[in-house]
Amino acid sequence: MAATGFGNYRNGTQSSRTSLGSSNKVDKPLSVYSNPKNPSLKSKSLNSSGLRKSAPGSLGAATGAAKDDAGVPGRVRVAVRLRPRNAEEMVADADFADCVELQPELKRLKLRKNNWDSDTYEFDEVLTEFASQKRVYEVVAKPVVESVLGGYNGTVMAYGQTGTGKTYTLGRLGEEDTAARGIMVRAMEDIFAGVSQGTDSVSVSYLQLYMETIQDLFDPTNDNISIVEDPKTGDVSLPGASLVDIRDQQSFVELLRLGEAHRFAANTKLNTESSRSHAILMVYVKRSVNGIDSALSTDNGDSSQVVKSLKPPVVRKGKLVVVDLAGSERIDKSGSEGHMLEEAKSINLSLSALGKCINALAENSPHVPVRDSKLTRLLRDSFGGTARTSLVITIGPSPRHRGETASTIMFGQRAMKVENMLKLKEEFDYKSLARRLDIQLDKVIAEHERQQKSFEKEIERITREAQNQISEVERKYADALEKERVKYHEECMESIKKLEEKWMKNQQKHAIDGNKVGLKGDGSDVTSKGEVAAVKEVAELKKLLQKEALLMKAAQEEVDNLKSQLAQSKKLEATANSEILKLRKMLEDEACQKQKLEGEIAMLQSRLLQISFDTDETRKRLDKGGSEKILSGLDSQMSQLRQPQLNAAGNGEKASIAKLFEQVGLHKILSLLEAEDADVRIHAVKVVANLAAEETNQEKIVEAGGLTSLLTLLKSSGDETIHRVAAGAIANLAMNEKNQELIMAQGGIRFLSMTAANAEDPQTLRMVAGAIANLCGNDKLQTKLRGEGGIKALLGMVKSRHPDVLAQVARGIANFAKCESRASTQGSKNGRSLLIEDGALPWIVQNANNETSQIRRHIELALCHLAQHELNARDMISGGALWELVRISRDCSREDIRTLANRTLASSSIFQAELRRLRIEH
């Protein structure tokens, strides 16, 4: 049957070779993440050398998120794809059979050694030469893309000999034939289908690694990009690379075509368009879990509405890395010369470095040489890290290249033994929360300004009405006074006029009467009577005038009284105006103070949320360090913490813990541990736990009463989250010998034991066990620790069976046994071990060969230290510990532990006698 070949692809076009053919058979998608049909064979091939797992989390600040920070195991999945014979091979190898035979239904591949012998290999997926590009994408890359959309990192990589179809599988644009689209194009189609244009973002970088130099394919002039590694998390970033935001599939295809045009390629004997560089496509996906923030998209006009919850929306960040490796080649077959020879050497060196890393990870080696090449540094998260990784190895059928095919197959087999620990990349969207708080703050300010203006208008209205009323009263008083004055004046003038008229009449009358008397000569009596009447009339007039004068005086006094009342009213008005101005100023001051306090509260709440996030990130990074770092001391872990970096998404520089420490003050932070709000207490204890991770802060925390507050929380709080975080903070403080004595003096073991007895969460038990394990390493506290139930508490926690908890229990037992061994050597201890008296020996023997390396290593150390005291020998022999000591002396992977076991067995006469009795050579 004639088979068509992969078309060599470069710059989005197809060379003279025909594209990959397909049969009429409909391929049913089968995920490479499903279990193989023959689990027994697969189990044998994978478990023989063991899988490399990410180390369990270490002690530190407790998590505030609901996710499991320990991660999810995810083995590297490997699929093999066979390229059909090309035109040259059909002529040159016409008389020879293919060197490989595929059994896709069994997911097996047979590599022929000769006509009668072959080797069988099993993969997660076996793709024949008839497999379509769609099927390759669905079984190799689609599960990885779905994980990236869910907030995980993912890697898809192609490895194989030059000319076997790696670029065709990954980078085919498929503009002429959509069925020929490669993994890059199909992956972006699924990503755009899974994101929301309103709230999510997608950005890409496209790079090539050429001659150990990283070049930006979007900007070829940027040809010396440096690799930056985060010392806390180990994450690798390329800050100098172009990062382009894209919104649709068409713009991505155009960018991909632009990048492919700048990639180095050359014509060799094995491939007319041979890639001379490793191409790396990085896709960054940022998705909002809660979707569009309703608080920003709607406005009901209610300015009094406040933020009900300060918890920010959650954002998940996933990174997809698609790696098109340059093909491995043999110089004698490719015919490379001159500069092409140097290129081939560089390619082979980087691929060799990658192979060494894969071998070290597959063999669970303590050292992985990731820094030998820039390629391995870029891919450190893809193998043995936190990314979901899928590898497709491409091979050819030609028997002339059987050696290269065998090497490719073995690379894939070793890669299948590498296990990653997948971790969700999730963080809080503080920028969205800040926008929402700004909007709410603007509404509150606007409402306050509206109320203040309304209050000012009301005051002005009342003042205006009061002034109008006062003016009206003044006018009425003035009118009334004027009327009274005019009235009295008129009455007075009328009385005077009447009196004058009477006076004139009397004068005329007197004159007439006088004339008559003179004429008669005898009028003395009459004159006398007239004068008497006149005198009486004048006296009466004087009385009337006096009365009028008194009335005028009374009127004037009343006028003066009214004027005095008016002045008093004006004085009262001035006093009222002064009081109104004072009240207005007081209201303004109170409004300013209220606004200032609201700003401070919002700032403190934002800082608490940021600190909670920093705490979660710190715990995640510490969890990634594993129990091996715990053994070497939490001091070395915590000293690696540094100030937060600039946020790459544009969120600005985060406030560091040290800066918060200086601005807020430790006493104020510790006072929040007694807050009534449970959320505030949780945030506060997380901040204290994060501060306790820094050795420079521990003394300040203890002096300020932080240790007492943490122990009180363990004793009185019923919240398990507070128990977990407080125990983690105490574990950090317990790394200091001085603090260990204070913890014991304040009843710390009793509170830790009580917490362990009531806790169900493995992470809480891990924190408590870590704190007790640190205390077990103090020679001075052993008797008191045992007397207060410390050993019993450790042994009681093994019921959880969680490997992280068991690792801490084993570490505590090893520390206690080491202190006892030192005390026995110095002569300060004579009796048998307190561990044996408290019944720890059966559990120690049972876990001496535990499959988890951290637990096994601590138990092996504990057995060696217990065996150094001769009084423990009989109990250890009867308890089966001697057999484990012999095994440790022979099979332990750690040379120092193996040497200690041999020396212990050789120095004990009781052990030697028992070995001779059992006829065991040692």
- Please state, in angstroms and rounded to a whole number, the distance separating the CA atoms of residues 273 and 812: 61
Tokens of 791: 């050993």
Query: How many CB atoms sit inside 10 A of residue 662's CB?
Result: 10
Q: Are strands 278-288 and 201-210 parallel, antiparallel or unpaired?
A: antiparallel
Output 102 or 67, whichever has higher pLDDT: 102
Burial class (CB in 10 A: 0-12, 13-18, 19+), 259: buried
Instruction: Quick: pLDDT tens for 764-799.
Output: 898 989 999 988 988 888 888 888 888 898 889 988
Q: 651 pLDDT exceeds 70?
A: no
Distance CA 168, CA 13 (A): 11
CA atoms of 281 and 266, how far apart (whole Å): 21
Lowest mean pLDDT among 444-448, 518-522, 853-857: 518-522
Which value, in Å, is the radius of gyration of the alpha carbons in the chain?
A: 48
Return the H-helix or E-strand segment holding 858. Answer: helix 853-867
- Indicate yes or no: pTM above 0.75: no
The model's confidence at residue 517, banded by pLDDT at 50, 70 and 90, is: low
How does strand 154-160 pair with strand 314-324?
Answer: parallel
The mean pLDDT of 799-827, rounded to a whole number, is 88
DSSP structure string for 647-687: PTTS--BPPPHHHHHHHH-HHHHHHGGG-SSHHHHHHHHHH
pLDDT in tens, 207-239: 999 888 999 999 989 888 999 988 777 788 899
pLDDT at 632: 37
pLDDT at 324: 92
Residue 536 has pLDDT above 80, yes or no: no
- pLDDT for the residue numbered 480: 87
pLDDT at 501: 85
- Averaged pLDDT score across all residues of the chain: 78
Closest alpha carbon to 847 in 805, 816, 908, 877: 805
Percent of the chain whose predicted confidence (pLDDT) is above 90: 20
pLDDT at 339 over 60: no
* Higher pLDDT, residue 724 or 55: 724
Q: What is the pLDDT of residue 602?
A: 65
Q: Which residues, including other chains, have CB under 8 Å from residue 584's CB and lie 6 or more apart?
A: 456, 459
What's the pLDDT at 300?
Answer: 44
Dump pLDDT digits (tens) for 462-496: 989 888 988 888 888 888 888 888 888 888 888 88
Query: When comparing pLDDT for 427 and 822, which is higher?
Result: 822
- What is the Cα–Cα distance from 763 to 628, expressed in whole angstroms? 17
* Interval 44-80: pLDDT, tens: 333 333 333 333 333 233 333 334 455 688 899 999 9
